[in-house]
Structure 1
């Protein structure tokens, strides 16, 4: 009977008859032979026509079986793939060969991607990401037997942004190549593979660029669009001969076919899909080489080479500084920066090809303000730093995004002054502030050694927050993971209240809220740093509970052994150099001593800034009265530090803005006070 199945149904089957419903089929055929009745319109006048009846019934059975299979596959897809945040792990990408053919006149593109996969367990489905693409053909070829398998369907789920390819036979464990031909539109939404315009004389023309972070590579080509699924990429693109083609890696080959050229780039190291980039446009460029021999270029619109020179100098300095700090050289053969007229953000750290909005990257020496140059110094340091934190070592999933952004922001702050000596003001985010706090607690040398070890251990791979804490703990001998979990796994930050009672310092922490409704539910492990009357007397310890109490003599760590006088004039500054991510609220007695230290110029500009900023924040949240803030501001009359004066003026404006509505009768008196306060610095 199995031979009949093969003969009349045209497919082979190695399993039992029952697997394909053969028990039913055999009984039906035997019944037909006895009855000699027609089946599905096929006449069976004699036993010699049984073959025709059997053929018809087999065809019907196969169709029915395929329908059942399709229903079953749909059910599996809905149960296993629908609504899932992550892709299934039975297929892992190893490399991509991507060929793009954009049409800048029709504003669309076609492409082919060949993805080398490792099948980790037998599967009848391949599931990957795709969005707003038309899939024309797909096939999977196993490397073990060179067998080419075609999917029985192509299922595109726009809601979940996935492409499901079901196969009639399970794909075996091993390596193979998934080939997909596709097409799409060059959109105007500044994401995925998009088009924008540039001026060629008086004529507007199209150019193309990409923006894939966080999940828009899938708008350009079908892929495993998750940061942990790193692979190598070999990119090729067709372009009009007059345009410059840029991607993550240097050009490997260029072939010209009439007015179109095909540019192929070198294969990249392992990287995530969101870091792949392509730009086509008309550019001039300027270039320099770093001390390690890395070629750095800035691509500018035609005629604006000079406006790219400042950015170029920043990039070269950044690469040299970070290579030295991390004890690991820049991991790619080149770094290009390109100015694009239309871009959704300020810049994007694509591996080896940083894309900037044109007005962010280009600086005219005669027209650009100091603040614009300061801004570029910060952005440049941030984007270059990502080539270590983010590109070389990448977060495992977007929930660990702070590993990328927090460290990049921390290092932009740390080195922006070295990269650009006119840099003054810094805005801290929580991630970078927490990193800076940890650096201050562990010390520069140990922290730097730890980061270098972390980079080397996870280079070209992915890491979770816990992986970083583990390396820092190993190198420093400090239980970093438990300390930092209290900062990264709960919202907000604390305010530390400090009181002095009978030569005991008492510390109490509570969550700081701008509403002033402090909460004691949250608890942080807080690295407390303090100085007692001198920067030579510094103490560092962890406040692990809601309340802590320490005798002053236990806190004295004088480096020169001089005895400390615990008299009425002893001032105490908590959170030295503002390294901790917390506010400090002093009782009136300690606050008065700190004001005298400010007048006597015994504190650094950073610590004076911190005292003022904390009191203003506490006043805003109604934790302190306005009189406390005005009294403190009064001791800053002779201040000349730029950052401090800027903050002082900001606070003056903020007080006047609130007072106009809250206490209108005091506005004129406040204005007079602020004018007298700032007269010294103005003169």
Structure 2
């Protein structure tokens, strides 16, 4: 039709009405899910054919965006214009892209010099379909349009965040586009595989700071407004585009290579950004060496946002944080807050390589982003602050993943995502904690040096591109010669993990695996398990793959020099593996002696008690065995070990209070002994501040509650 249509806003859907009053919104008939939705026929006959599909078609893809945005912080609205260079690869008369909660000005839409004859915006699919009266020429063309939207209060898309300046309430404009919310700011191909270059321009009040991914090229001031032009970005996914507009102060430093790093805060808070700035600079230098690839952008900004849904977001060159995740006050913040700031900063900066430079092909491979960033953030912080014993903190992440993944309702690391609406559901402890833990397990099996070299090759091969989980395994396998794909597929494509039953039979160590479930039931899972073992000393160790349900490890030569109380075998050295171990009575007794003699690492001291508790809860071992093990820790003074031991004691006490009052009393006495001895050691070793930190732990607060109750009862 040649009639001129005008847009009517109805929720997030633009319904176009012709002058005769005819409604041109298309009927909402469902289209069955097609796994090859990205290969929809280019020669579709109607916009309706694109409805109900999980992904955008690939017959036209963006190469570059020129984006102009004008946020109105008083009215909480914005207007904009987008011009996208598009490569048309197959004959078609349609362009299909994402748009949601935007009012697109139909009269402004042009592809080259052509106006569309059909415009359909499907609210439930968040897509905009443009139909033309002729076939589009193959090759590059330019799509342009104007649009308006609302600076929402939902902390996603282009939104407003409130702050105070000189006692006055103000709004700042902020973006949060992961996972699929760039479409709420501007029409775009809002999937991670559609990488393009971005040239952004902002028109804002002249007194405000306006930040984006790239450095400012120039600013021009016209009355109360200024126009800020930014450098063109390298190829990047839409979810990494970022814009922040408001009043800020900043502090800055530089990396060894001269990359400028800044921390932006609300006015007057820059002193609280010094620690994050220091960690950020050191992390960039460290990751440049580790990945053997320079930081890809000319600058890095980190900014604290008052209203922020996530802990932080790794936008390319402009990382946004919740204030508590970036700012550290030396006078008021706790030691744990300091560690969390360091971990969070390192995590987001690791994404600049693993996630931003190399990006997952689709959200099914989300764990590639989050698992790797979580793991490598601990690697970085351990290097920057070795005195923190940071890997013992990482064990908390592993423990969290183990607890969640022992539920029958868990899910694999890799989850097939069929629609953008499903994405948020997989941002959980499996993506982050289990993902990071199995990567650490793989690194331990392959060896740190071989693993690092292979990762560097992977980054180089897929830089400025996209990759799937299988692509990573292929590179690691090629670089190391190990069966990485077969091994890791058992960990990423099925839920759960095994418990390894270890039994001593003469000179043989008999091993058997079974899926561990916290309810005590049996699961069908089977894994290729990277096993590590040491005997009597960490210098006597072995590494092998448990490929079937059972295997036997010959230990005659391995354990020949060990006898009596010096004989002990520890599987899963330093808890590098994502599995639990159930020892027979003889092996368990040997480990109890090793604990008393302080022969084990902190990681293993924690891992043994966590495994034993989980096995007891699942009725895989007796409570008596657990209590005997807990008693072996009665002379322990390390804070992190005590934190886990007392947490287990409190959990057992909670279970046993009604069922067995005598047992509850014994557990309380053990806790008293643990804490009193810890205080004595702290005083002797002049580590009272560490002990004080422990005394403030939630475990101690709970302990004080039930000892107070006991004293009131006179028992």
- Partner residue in 1 for 2:601: 604
Q: Is the 8 A contact 2:509 2:554 kept in 1?
A: yes
Match among 530, 547, 552 for residue 549 of structure 1: 552
Cα 1:80–1:141 change in 2 (3 A) is closer
1:452-510 CA-to-partner distances (Å, cap 9, x unmatched) read 10111111110000010011001101010010000000001111000111311111111
Cα 1:74–1:104 change in 2 (3 A) is farther
Distance 2:599 2:158 in 1: 57
Cα 1:209–1:450 change in 2 (3 A) is same
Matches within 5 A, 1:64-213: 76-77=45-46, 80-137=49-106, 138-142=108-112, 148-213=113-178
Asked if 1:448 is matched to 2:452, the reply is yes
Match among 634, 649, 652 for residue 631 of structure 2: 634
Question: Secondary structure of 1:335's partner?
Answer: strand
Q: CA deviation at 1:568?
A: 8.4
Cα 1:681–1:568 change in 2 (3 A) is closer
- Partner residue in 1 for 2:534: 531
Distance 1:569 1:643 in 2: 25
- Partner residue in 1 for 2:707: none
Q: CA deviation at 1:411?
A: 0.8
Q: CA RMSD in A?
A: 2.3
- Partner residue in 2 for 1:44: none
Distance 1:280 1:67 in 2: 36
Matches within 5 A, 1:306-317: 306-317=271-282
Q: Is the 8 A contact 2:47 2:131 kept in 1?
A: no
Question: Secondary structure of 1:221's partner?
Answer: coil
Match among 633, 641, 648 for residue 644 of structure 1: 641
Which consecutive unaligned segments of at least 5 residues does structure 1 have?
Answer: 1-8, 11-65, 143-147
Q: Is the 8 A contact 2:101 2:184 kept in 1?
A: yes
- Partner residue in 2 for 1:214: 179
Q: CA deviation at 1:279?
A: 0.2
Q: CA deviation at 1:82?
A: 1.4
- Partner residue in 2 for 1:321: 286
Matches within 5 A, 1:257-296: 257-296=222-261
After TM superposition, the structure 1 stretch with the greater mean CA deviation from structure 2, 432-441 or 170-179, is: 170-179
- Partner residue in 1 for 2:590: 593
With normalisation by structure 1, the TM-score equals 0.86
Question: Secondary structure of 2:439's partner?
Answer: helix
Structure of greater Rg: 1
Q: Is the 8 A contact 1:98 1:236 kept in 2?
A: yes
Cα 1:575–1:257 change in 2 (3 A) is same
Distance 1:292 1:139 in 2: 44
Q: Is the 8 A contact 2:236 2:356 kept in 1?
A: yes
Distance 2:659 2:383 in 1: 44
| Count of equivalent residues | 606
- Partner residue in 2 for 1:504: 508
Q: Is the 8 A contact 2:565 2:593 kept in 1?
A: no
Distance 1:361 1:77 in 2: 49
Which consecutive unaligned segments of at least 5 residues does structure 2 have?
Answer: 3-23, 30-41, 398-432, 681-715
With normalisation by structure 2, the TM-score equals 0.82
Q: Is the 8 A contact 2:248 2:266 kept in 1?
A: yes
- Partner residue in 2 for 1:57: none
- Partner residue in 2 for 1:341: 306
1:198-241 CA-to-partner distances (Å, cap 9, x unmatched) read 11212111110000000000000000000011000001111101
Q: CA deviation at 1:648?
A: 1.2
Q: Is the 8 A contact 1:348 1:356 kept in 2?
A: yes
Q: Is the 8 A contact 1:374 1:420 kept in 2?
A: no
